[in-house]
Chain A
Amino acid sequence: MPRPSTQNISWRRRFVNFLAIAAVTGATLVVMAPLIIILGTIIVRGIGGLHWSFFTQIPKPTGEIGGGMANAIAGSAMVLLVASAIGIPLGVGAGIFVAEYGRNFYGNIVRFTADVLNGIPSIVIGVTAYALVVVTQGHFSLLAGGVALGIMMIPTICRTTEEVLLMVPQSIREAALGLGIPQWRTTLSVVVRTATSGIVTSIMLAFARVAGETAPLMFTALGNQFWNLNLNQPTAALPLQIFTYSRSPYDDEIQLAWTGALVLIAMIIGTVVLVKFATSRGMMKGAR
């Protein structure tokens, strides 16, 4: 679009225009500032504690210097594993339903419900997981945490799966059916296969989002000062541990919190950047 000629416009209008453009540009700068400051603060404060011991040791008893967050990192990994085992099949399955079998009233209900689920605050989901799993089992557990996070993964995966499946042209389905390939095989081995890269992307993004969640774990996985990978016992998780340490009166625990934050954010941003890079380079080409 050509720049509008400003020759015959009044002085006042030009000034307002300049002011508005400046304000809008300023707004952008103000928005970028916290990003840089936050990331900068985390890097500066966190890097001091980035020793090998951070990744290999568990927290020392209160009062003693040192220790690490190895148990929290491992605990987070386990919880995320459980969450994926729940969230991925249900999310992808629901997405397939809406795209291939649900171009109707029922499909709309599922899609609407997925959106509702997406908007439910994470702490409410944590309370529900508490009621469903912790109360039933009688104790806090890794499983309960996994259930909470798994539920949170479903809507993102479902919606994106639906989108990418709809992008697969109808002619591909017809080609497969025309060859005498049964409906279920067509959907699974042809349509879903064409959209695989998009589905993987959605899973990674859901994963990254859920990896940083604290609230749903607070009264499900609860946290743990020691190693635990047992499904039926409470476990430490990275975001939880960061939260606990942030309230600590001890400097070294606060340092651990910062380093933990650095590790967590590096992991999440790393995943997001990886996904963007792979998608934009077309390395994950699928449905056109």
Chain B
Amino acid sequence: MEIGIHVHDLNAWFGKTQALYNIALEIPAKHTTAIIGPSGCGKSTFVRCLNRMHETVPQATVKGKVTIADLDVYGKGISPVWIRRRVGMVFQKPNPFPTMSIYDNVAAGLKLNGVRNRRQLDEVVERSLRSAALWEEVKDILKKKSGASLSGGQQQRLCIARALAVEPDVLLMDEPASALDPISTAKIEDLIFELKEKYTVVIVTHNMQQAARVAEYTAFFLMGNLVEFDKTETMFTKPSDKKTEDYITGRFG
């Protein structure tokens, strides 16, 4: 099994408040890993440190080492822009660009980074929309409708397509289905299941059943600390830490 993401001694702060304490983790490549934990435990912060989005918040700081394949994410001279093209992100609330068409939305990551070749763009747009299981529904209205005119579930799949168009190695998903209805959620979960064939997927979720459905590995965070990391099956049936057991059985959270 190849290593996807090495995390070593990761600490993060919002101003003076520390949000992550000495996180060390190895996320396996081409698998889906779920990050679970109660509200405020640092799971979103952790994931945002992987693609250097954490530092876009004013006064937010990070210390530690993150390696993706052989790339030192926080290395000297490595630009965050470059990292973010290799690590894609899908956010909790679907956020398509409102004034752009569906086509332009998917192509945004490419167009705005200088790719001009019409054929290449067409190819990438179709491929990404197919990977996001949205192609059939929008192929006739690609340039006619804006990204914001789709339903919630479709918008989120559009955002996934947009992230995939850049062909990242890793796909980070921060509670991607929490703003959606159950049917759209099911569609997204099916999608995530297929995506792991090609990408390393890390999905933050507050829904344990969702983690059990889509992820092969799960990490449990509590108050900024990584408590346990194991195969999902093991974690949910024979957790090694008492805190994990308490959370999973619903004693708190």
Q: Do chains A and B touch in the complex (CB under 8 A)?
A: yes
A residues near B (Cβ < 8 Å) are: 169, 171-172, 174-182, 185, 189-190, 193-194, 196, 285-288
Cβ distance B29 to chain A, nearest Cβ, rounded Å: 20
Interface residues in B81-106 by Cβ distance below 8 A to A read 81-86, 88-89, 91, 93, 95-99
10 residue pairs A–B, Cβ–Cβ below 8 Å: A171-B95, A174-B56, A176-B97, A177-B84, A178-B53, A178-B89, A178-B163, A180-B83, A180-B113, A193-B99
Whether a CB of chain A sits under 8 angstroms from the CB of B248 is: no
- Chain A residues near B108 (CB-CB < 8 A): 176, 179, 181, 190
Which residues in chain B, 201-225, are within 8 Å of chain A measured between CB atoms? none
* Closest CB in chain B relative to A192 CB, distance in Å: 10
Contact, CB under 8 Å: B109 / A181: yes
A181 engages B112 (CB within 8 Å): yes
In Å, the complex CA distance between A194 and B113 comes to 18
Contact of B84 among A180, A185, A193, A288 (CB under 8 A): A180
- Known: A178-B89, A180-B82, A180-B84. Is A194-B53 also a contact (CB below 8 A)? no
Q: Which of B58-88 contact A (CB under 8 A)?
A: 81-86, 88
Question: A171 CA to B88 CA in the complex, in Å?
Answer: 15
Measured between beta carbons, the chain A residues less than 8 angstroms from B95 are 169, 171-172, 174-175
- In angstroms, Cα B145 to Cα A285, docked, is 13
Where the two chains meet, the residues of B that have a C-beta atom closer than 8 Å to any C-beta of A are 51, 53, 56, 81-86, 88-89, 91, 93, 95-99, 108-109, 112-113, 159, 162-163, 166
The answer on a CB contact under 8 Å between A177 and B109 is: no
A105 to chain B, nearest CB (A): 13
Instruction: Provide the bound-state CA to CA distance between A158 and B94, in Å.
Output: 30
- Residues of A close to B53: CB separation below 8 A: 174, 177-178
Q: Name the residue on A nearest B93 (C-beta).
A: A171
Residue of A nearest to B159 (CB): A175
Chain A residue with Cβ nearest B90: A178
Extra 16 A-B pairs, beta carbons < 8 Å, given A174-B91, A180-B81: A171-B95, A172-B95, A174-B53, A177-B53, A177-B56, A177-B84, A178-B88, A178-B91, A179-B84, A179-B109, A180-B86, A181-B113, A182-B81, A189-B112, A190-B112, A285-B99
Contact B163 A179 (CB under 8 A): yes
Q: In angstroms, how far is the closest chain B Cβ from the Cβ of A169? A: 7
Q: How far is the CB of A166 from chain B (nearest CB, A)?
A: 15
Write out the residue numbers on chain A whose beta carbons fall within 8 Å of the beta carbon of B99: 193-194, 196, 285-286
The residues of B that contact A285 with a CB separation of less than 8 Å are 98-99
Contacts of A193 in B (CB 8 A): 99
- The residues of A that contact B86 with a CB separation of less than 8 Å are 180
A175-B91, A180-B113 in contact; A286/B84 too (CB < 8 A)? no
Q: Could you say which of B56, B93, B95, B159 has the most chain A C-beta atoms within 10 Å of its C-beta? A: B95
Residues of chain A lying within 8 A (CB to CB) of residue B51: 178
Complex Cα distance, B99 from A288, in Å, reads 10
What residue of chain B has the Cβ atom nearest to residue A103's Cβ?
Answer: B58
Chain B residue contacts of A287, Cβ below 8 A: 98
Q: Which residues of A contact B162 (CB under 8 A)?
A: 175, 179
CB distance from B23 to the nearest CB of A (A): 21
CA distance A182 to B114 in the complex (A): 11
- Residues in B with CB closer than 8 Å to A181 are 81, 108-109, 112-113
Cα distance A265–B63 when bound, in Å? 63
With both chains docked as a complex, state the minimum distance between the C-beta of A100 and any C-beta of chain B, in angstroms: 12
Residues of B within 8 A of A171 (CB): 91, 93, 95
Residues from chain B with Cβ under 8 Å of A185 in the complex: 112-113
Closest to B105 in A: A175
